[in-house]
A and B are shown apart, each in its own frame.
Chain A
């Protein structure tokens, strides 16, 4: 691994100042399970992605840790570990979609280290991107190897130029919960709904979100779901032990007294370069009896999907998973 300087700021302002001072070759580090044990260990670098010279360790900032739930919603510090989220009684009660998604991440050891901010902002798992020898678009190169190569795990929706799938389980759940991110930067704080947080390769192939090099995600806010909101999470993996999703589905919705879809969101992970909000499916369900309409609604994923040479199976899987997840939420 390349050597680097380590900074240990004691507050957010100091962290941001360090990022500004060093520039784009400084990166913030949460648990480090992706940046250090992944990107840096495996020399994942390119013209558009130099390996960092400096790491700014956010674990030395106590304010970034913690879970606070009040009647408006839940505020979770970006450095809160996934284990802390999984074990939070308050979150389990009202935000079970997030606790379940967090619980499905990796293994207990990684969840003890991995943070919410790190999980949301982790880099993709594409095996070409992660291979040191593949100089792909996402690293600033001039090729996407997945188009003519083995793309069994790649995007079925929204790929263009680059066909990664967004790897974060918690991001998928947070988008379904209509959450927002709080970001600190040299120009002050800003709040960005997750609806606008993730960006696809067409917008900027070198990034997966709007976070700038001199910014730090500080916390996540999830508004209290409307009374009676049904929440469900499913994640399909090839094997049962820790793995990234082939397809994951996060659903949060309300129904009226007769079981008709009132409002809500269906979001898929593992299918697109961003957590994919399936508005087609939501619109199909609107005002209809969920139980009776879900089969037909789930099938609309087929109209959005543009599978590649080896991943058409993910369309079938996505359709099944949407149907099962929403039926599961109905109980």
Chain B
């Protein structure tokens, strides 16, 4: 049995190198087909009637006029008379018609009588929440009262918050559904090709074996695409009713209203330290919403294990679309509240926050030495010590520059996955696993691992993914995919290689354990002159390919993944104190994530995370109208994302020492999106001398904070 491990960095041909995405050319030339691009013969288009009210009951629904419209083939009532609707945009009825215009016209012809009910759509003013606010039990660690009352304690109090933000997937949610008898074929836009199988089977009361799900490309998920959703089931029903394929993709407005969001958090925080900056006590009163469900409870204090703590958290149910996992669920909110209050404390102590966090680094626990090194590296890349100034003591003139920092962590252990590798007699290698590449570079990573293990060029590796008939490869969430599928692929490739060796060793006058694959050859260890080219070796298989399964986890076959990553980010901003406009000049990210399979796609994840972070820090928020309960910005005009011109110089430093190599492959997609909010907001506080309490840091809020003044 081989020794299941990763190659040493100096011997690796591909792992850890900078390799371009294998599907890059297909994506930029448009040959990559997304679900939005799927068209099937005779396909119908579906549109959905959505609730115009935030809270109402359906009194009656009449679809007859819609059904009679020429070109309309079926109407499916998703939620009928008597149903209570809890947010604007919720699905009421779906129409399938010969084209999109006809379907939209038909939707306009559905007559619904609603009884409006009282709604609540904001949560920042907790006093208005009434019985919608559900406080959780207080949590106490140590003796916070004593710590705050200590004579020497320096305390700072602040108010911090982040608004609800949406996922803004470039490709909206949706499905194409098609029946053949009792068998359903679905083309979803999803992060979970195989998980949808059971969801469809259960909802439609058919055996899971009758559901075939297939997807090659998805235009973003960010945590919002794990479910069949009401509209997916509606598409399947419409396809069944009509006997034709049905495509149902969300319009942009419902995409923004009902297809997921990140919960808000608002918090009143008090923290205490000794005069030398040693952190002693934390107290927080926080509240948040994730729609009717009330939202998550962000980890606070984030990363910093204050010896004395008191925490109270309240979930608020509001009449707006439900939260879904959003890239590193709960962490950006916890990080923002915690790192901002620590920066405010540093300002009160007249300390450089870098010194303060270094002084307290032991409070971060087992990662503390790595954090310390990462902080020093980030400081070097930002020239922090040369450029940092005390609050509001930067340059004269209306435009003020400042620096800020934040730290983050994530788990990221590779998930369960299985993989089949086949070496064909012509030398081509097939890798089959039902995973999906949600933009993170999963395809590329799998190809690298297979090619590295077998010593063949990546071009000889053919990938089969995104089909539930393949071996289970897991859903893509929690930054667990690359760790999972790279481990299962590595094991499968090593076992397939062993089988190949066993079949051809005698032809080289040796035994399997004396063979190795190097650079397109299979040769005898210590005697490189004896060997075959890869193609010759494969040809010896005759008509029977070799095939091996690998899985993760597999304790008998090594530990190829582990858990726990982290990083440090620093931001350099300019704030125009007369217009309130904030610009990020530069960001530095230092990030560890175990063994890196592809340096290029890894760095790409960090770049993308920082750009996404600039968006939610400076521009993004779901704006609700309190009077009508409706979302005011379900579009890409008033829901503002960062663009190229808002993107600063970004420096990414991936932490790759021997220690990280030994930890195996760990996930990276989510963690770098945690710190930007706090790092940028702290830089704004450093620049202006005032705390803008809530994200996004828009001109109105920046100017209001400057007018109000004060530390926090």
Q: How far is the CA of A236 from the CA of B645 in the complex (A)?
A: 14
Q: Which residues of B contact A310 (CB under 8 A)?
A: 700
Stretch of B211-219, B422-430, B575-583 on the interface side? B575-583
Q: How far is the CA of A321 from the CA of B108 in the complex (A)?
A: 45
Q: Which residues of A contact B581 (CB under 8 A)?
A: 236, 238
A314 to chain B, nearest CB (A): 8
A240 in complex: contacting residue of B108, B643, B700, B704, CB < 8 Å = B643
Q: Which residues of A contact B628 (CB under 8 A)?
A: 133-134, 145
B104 in complex: contacting residue of A1, A128, A240, CB < 8 Å = A1
Which of B101, B625, B698: most chain A Cβ within 10 A? B625
Task: Annotate B558-602 by CB proximity to A: 1 below 8 A, 0 otherwise.
Answer: 000000000000000000001111010000000000000000000
Q: Which residues of A contact B369 (CB under 8 A)?
A: none
Q: How far is the CA of A183 from the CA of B78 in the complex (A)?
A: 51
Asked if A150 is at the interface of the complex by the 8 Å CB criterion, the answer is yes
CB-CB contacts below 8 Å: B693-708 with A:
698-700, 703-704
Contact across chains for A128 and B101 when beta carbons are under 8 A apart: no
Q: How far is the CA of A242 from the CA of B704 in the complex (A)?
A: 25
CB-CB contacts below 8 Å: A217-241 with B:
236, 238-241
Contact across chains for A239 and B633 when beta carbons are under 8 A apart: no
- Known A-B contacts A131-B632, A238-B581, A241-B645; the reply to A313 vs B101 at CB < 8 A is no
Asked if B640 is at the interface of the complex by the 8 Å CB criterion, the answer is yes
Q: How far is the CA of A236 from the CA of B583 in the complex (A)?
A: 13
Q: Which residues of B contact A134 (CB under 8 A)?
A: 628, 630
Residue of B nearest to A107 (CB): B643
Asked if B98 is at the interface of the complex by the 8 Å CB criterion, the answer is no
Contact across chains for A239 and B618 when beta carbons are under 8 A apart: yes
A295 to chain B, nearest CB (A): 12
Contact across chains for B627 and A149 when beta carbons are under 8 A apart: yes
Q: How far is the CA of A127 from the CA of B623 in the complex (A)?
A: 10
Q: Which residues of B contact A8 (CB under 8 A)?
A: none
A148 to chain B, nearest CB (A): 6
Q: How far is the CA of A152 from the CA of B646 in the complex (A)?
A: 22
Asked if A302 is at the interface of the complex by the 8 Å CB criterion, the answer is no
Q: How far is the CA of A131 from the CA of B637 in the complex (A)?
A: 12
Q: How far is the CA of A310 from the CA of B626 in the complex (A)?
A: 14
CB-CB contacts below 8 Å: A164-182 with B:
none
A83 to chain B, nearest CB (A): 18
Asked if A288 is at the interface of the complex by the 8 Å CB criterion, the answer is no
Contact across chains for A150 and B625 when beta carbons are under 8 A apart: yes
Asked if B644 is at the interface of the complex by the 8 Å CB criterion, the answer is yes
* Number of A residues with CB within 8 Å of any CB on chain B: 34
B541 to chain A, nearest CB (A): 53
A90 to chain B, nearest CB (A): 28
B623 in complex: contacting residue of A125, A150, A313, A321, CB < 8 Å = A150
Contact across chains for B642 and A320 when beta carbons are under 8 A apart: no
CB-CB contacts below 8 Å: B653-710 with A:
698-700, 703-704
CB-CB contacts below 8 Å: A88-118 with B:
none
Contact across chains for A149 and B626 when beta carbons are under 8 A apart: yes
Asked if B105 is at the interface of the complex by the 8 Å CB criterion, the answer is yes
Q: Which residues of B contact A153 (CB under 8 A)?
A: 638
Asked if A304 is at the interface of the complex by the 8 Å CB criterion, the answer is no
- Known A-B contacts A238-B619, A241-B643; the reply to A313 vs B580 at CB < 8 A is yes
A145 in complex: contacting residue of B579, B627, B704, CB < 8 Å = B627
Asked if A26 is at the interface of the complex by the 8 Å CB criterion, the answer is no
Q: How far is the CA of A206 from the CA of B577 in the complex (A)?
A: 38
Q: Which residues of A contact B52 (CB under 8 A)?
A: 133
Contact across chains for A240 and B699 when beta carbons are under 8 A apart: no
Which of A130, A238, A241: most chain B Cβ within 10 A? A238
Q: How far is the CA of A316 from the CA of B702 in the complex (A)?
A: 12
Q: How far is the CA of A158 from the CA of B192 in the complex (A)?
A: 53
Q: Which residues of A contact B645 (CB under 8 A)?
A: 239-241
Asked if A71 is at the interface of the complex by the 8 Å CB criterion, the answer is no
Asked if A258 is at the interface of the complex by the 8 Å CB criterion, the answer is no
Q: How far is the CA of A241 from the CA of B104 in the complex (A)?
A: 32
Asked if A243 is at the interface of the complex by the 8 Å CB criterion, the answer is yes
Residue of A nearest to B698 (CB): A238
- Known A-B contacts A131-B632, A316-B703; the reply to A239 vs B643 at CB < 8 A is yes
Q: Which residues of B contact A239 (CB under 8 A)?
A: 618-619, 640, 642-643, 645-646
Asked if A72 is at the interface of the complex by the 8 Å CB criterion, the answer is no
Q: Which residues of A contact B635 (CB under 8 A)?
A: 42, 130
Asked if A317 is at the interface of the complex by the 8 Å CB criterion, the answer is yes
CB-CB contacts below 8 Å: B599-641 with A:
618-619, 623, 625-628, 630, 632-633, 635, 637-638, 640
Contact across chains for A317 and B699 when beta carbons are under 8 A apart: yes
B578 in complex: contacting residue of A149, A152, A320, CB < 8 Å = A320
Residue of A nearest to B99 (CB): A3
Contact across chains for A148 and B699 when beta carbons are under 8 A apart: no
- Known A-B contacts A125-B637, A133-B628; the reply to A242 vs B703 at CB < 8 A is no
A137 to chain B, nearest CB (A): 15
CB-CB contacts below 8 Å: A34-77 with B:
42-43
Residue of B nearest to A316 (CB): B703
A236 to chain B, nearest CB (A): 6
Residue of B nearest to A127 (CB): B632
A282 to chain B, nearest CB (A): 22
Q: How far is the CA of A202 from the CA of B637 in the complex (A)?
A: 28
Q: How far is the CA of A128 from the CA of B634 in the complex (A)?
A: 12
Residue of B nearest to A148 (CB): B627
A138 to chain B, nearest CB (A): 16
Asked if A21 is at the interface of the complex by the 8 Å CB criterion, the answer is no
Asked if A190 is at the interface of the complex by the 8 Å CB criterion, the answer is no
Q: Which residues of A contact B698 (CB under 8 A)?
A: 238
Q: Which residues of B contact A1 (CB under 8 A)?
A: 100-101, 104
Q: Which residues of B contact A187 (CB under 8 A)?
A: none
Q: How far is the CA of A145 from the CA of B623 in the complex (A)?
A: 14
B699 in complex: contacting residue of A130, A145, A313, CB < 8 Å = A313
Q: Which residues of B contact A240 (CB under 8 A)?
A: 583, 643, 645-646
- Known A-B contacts A131-B632, A241-B646; the reply to A321 vs B627 at CB < 8 A is no
Contact across chains for A150 and B105 when beta carbons are under 8 A apart: no
Q: Which residues of A contact B642 (CB under 8 A)?
A: 239, 241
A111 to chain B, nearest CB (A): 15
Contact across chains for B630 and A133 when beta carbons are under 8 A apart: yes
Q: Which residues of B contact A148 (CB under 8 A)?
A: 627
Contact across chains for B699 and A3 when beta carbons are under 8 A apart: no
Contact across chains for B101 and A316 when beta carbons are under 8 A apart: no
Q: Which residues of A contact B633 (CB under 8 A)?
A: 127
Asked if A246 is at the interface of the complex by the 8 Å CB criterion, the answer is yes
Q: How far is the CA of A231 from the CA of B323 in the complex (A)?
A: 49
- Known A-B contacts A2-B105, A134-B628, A145-B627; the reply to A320 vs B618 at CB < 8 A is no
Contact across chains for B704 and A313 when beta carbons are under 8 A apart: yes
A316 in complex: contacting residue of B578, B618, B632, CB < 8 Å = B578
Q: How far is the CA of A131 from the CA of B644 in the complex (A)?
A: 28
- Known A-B contacts A2-B101, A150-B625, A310-B700; the reply to A131 vs B579 at CB < 8 A is no
B414 to chain A, nearest CB (A): 37
Task: Annotate B81-111 by CB proximity to A: 1 below 8 A, 0 otherwise.
Answer: 0000000000000000000110011001000
Q: How far is the CA of A246 from the CA of B632 in the complex (A)?
A: 17
Residue of B nearest to A147 (CB): B627
Contact across chains for A128 and B646 when beta carbons are under 8 A apart: no
Which of A125, A130, A131, A236: most chain B Cβ within 10 A? A131
7 tightest A-B CB contacts, nearest first: A241-B643, A240-B645, A320-B578, A313-B700, A127-B632, A313-B703, A241-B645
On B, residues with C-beta under 8 Å from A are 52, 100-101, 104-105, 108, 253, 578-581, 583, 618-619, 623, 625-628, 630, 632-633, 635, 637-638, 640, 642-646, 698-700, 703-704
16 sample A-B contacts, Cβ–Cβ < 8 Å, listed by A number = A3-B105, A42-B635, A125-B637, A127-B638, A131-B632, A145-B627, A236-B579, A238-B699, A239-B640, A240-B583, A240-B643, A240-B645, A241-B642, A317-B580, A317-B703, A320-B579
Assuming A238-B699, A313-B703, A316-B703, what are 13 further A-B pairs, CB within 8 angstroms?
Answer: A2-B105, A43-B108, A131-B632, A133-B630, A134-B628, A150-B623, A238-B640, A241-B645, A246-B699, A310-B700, A316-B578, A317-B579, A320-B579
